[in-house]
């Protein structure tokens, strides 16, 4: 499948590599290709700068957001939450009704250092998933994967032998089946459909507890599991 991953950060890098390893044709979107490739500084979590990462993953295409989206069947939003509406507004011709957009963003405030804080007042008003869906009513937005570390998103067997939970939410039943089937190809088995795109308020609101668990868990990969 042709997939556009929006985002050159640690999430974009991790997902693009996993998608490519699975045989998908992946293009990473960025504002400025040359600037992204020139970035060799590791991030705060020890992930390489995008330029270093891309040298080791040179078969993965890098393009502007617009060119990455063109022709892609699936778009994955792995950008800074504050920027996604502007990115999509700049590529209106790609916001068509044949596109499914996975949104995994969380609106985190990094201004006071680590751990970041969730901008809860914004989520209560309207989550990122809803804001994207409202701004681009034709695109089928599916909120998923935002409640776990990026290392787990397409590698669920890292946690509890693959038995942890991933939530999905969105207005299109067809798009949710499409995304569920896509997630299953990576080993997800416990996929819970929370309903329409308003459910992204709930999954974005899980972040405070996820962030509190982070220092407690240390280096151990973890995720939520709905026991029943």
Is residue 11 involved in binding ligand NAP (CB under 6 A)? Answer: yes
Is residue 106 involved in binding ligand NAP (CB under 6 A)? Answer: yes
Is residue 83 involved in binding ligand NAP (CB under 6 A)? Answer: yes
Q: Which of 62, 132, 60 is nearest to 91 (CA)?
A: 132
Is residue 10 involved in binding ligand NAP (CB under 6 A)? Answer: yes
Q: Which is nearer to ligand NAP, 7 or 170 (CB)?
A: 7
Which helix (DSSP H) or strand (DSSP E) does residue 76 occupy? strand 74-77
Provide the minimum distance between the beta carbon of 186 and ligand NAP in the complex, in angstroms, as a whole number: 15
Q: Which is nearer to ligand NAP, 110 or 173 (CB)?
A: 110
- Interface pick for ligand NAP out of 19, 53, 75, 79 (rule CB under 6 A): 79
Residue nearest ligand NAP by beta-carbon distance? 9
CA 69 vs. chain centroid, Å, equals: 15
Task: Say if residues 105 and 84 touch (Cβ distance below 8 Å).
Answer: yes
Q: Which of 149, 154, 173, 121 is nearest to 221 (CA)?
A: 149
Interface region with ligand NAP, contact rule CB under 6 A, candidates 7-15, 19-27, 132-140, 177-185:
7-15
Residues from 116 through 175 that contact ligand NAP (CB under 6 A): 146, 149-150
Sketch the per residue contact string, 24 through 43, with ligand NAP: x for CB under 6 A, - otherwise.
Answer: ------xxx---x-------
Residue 34 makes CB contacts below 8 A (sequence gap 6+) with: none
DSSP 110-123: -TT-SSPEE-HHHH
Task: Say if residues 143 and 169 touch (Cβ distance below 8 Å).
Answer: yes
Task: Say if residues 62 and 27 touch (Cβ distance below 8 Å).
Answer: yes
Provide the minimum distance between the beta carbon of 48 and ligand NAP in the complex, in angstroms, as a whole number: 12
Which helix (DSSP H) or strand (DSSP E) does residue 51 occupy? helix 50-56
Interface region with ligand NAP, contact rule CB under 6 A, candidates 9-17, 66-74, 183-191, 192-200:
9-17
Is residue 15 involved in binding ligand NAP (CB under 6 A)? Answer: no
Interface region with ligand NAP, contact rule CB under 6 A, candidates 16-24, 83-91, 165-173, 184-192:
83-91
Task: Say if residues 206 and 148 touch (Cβ distance below 8 Å).
Answer: no
Task: Say if residues 176 and 196 touch (Cβ distance below 8 Å).
Answer: no
- Interface pick for ligand NAP out of 1, 42, 86, 181 (rule CB under 6 A): 86
Task: Say if residues 109 and 116 touch (Cβ distance below 8 Å).
Answer: yes
Residues near ligand NAP (CB under 6 A) are: 7-12, 30-32, 36, 78-81, 83, 86-87, 104-106, 108, 146, 149-150
């Amino acid at each position: 499948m042709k997939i556009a991953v929006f985002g050159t950060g640690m999430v974009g890098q991790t997902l693009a590599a996993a998608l490519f390893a699975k045989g998908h044709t992946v293009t990473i979107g960025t504002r400025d290709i040359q600037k992204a490739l020139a970035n060799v500084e590791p991030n705060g979590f020890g992930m390489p700068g995008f330029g270093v990462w891309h040298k080791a993953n040179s078969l993965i295409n890098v393009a502007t957001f617009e060119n990455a989206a063109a022709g892609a069947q699936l778009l994955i939003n792995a950008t800074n939450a504050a920027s996604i509406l502007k990115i999509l507004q700049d590529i209106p011709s790609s916001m068509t009704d044949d596109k499914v957009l996975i949104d995994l963003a969380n609106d985190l405030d990094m201004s006071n250092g680590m751990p970041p804080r969730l901008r809860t007042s914004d989520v209560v008003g309207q989550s990122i998933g809803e804001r994207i869906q409202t701004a681009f009513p034709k695109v089928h937005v599916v909120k998923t994967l935002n409640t776990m570390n990026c290392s787990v998103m397409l590698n669920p067997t890292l946690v509890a032998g693959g038995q942890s939970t991933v939530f999905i939410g969105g207005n299109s039943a067809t798009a949710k089946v499409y995304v569920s089937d896509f997630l299953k190809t990576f080993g997800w088995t416990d996929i819970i459909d929370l309903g329409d795109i308003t459910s992204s308020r709930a999954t974005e609101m899980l972040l405070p507890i996820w962030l509190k668990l982070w220092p407690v868990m240390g280096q151990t990969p973890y995720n939520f599991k709905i026991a029943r």
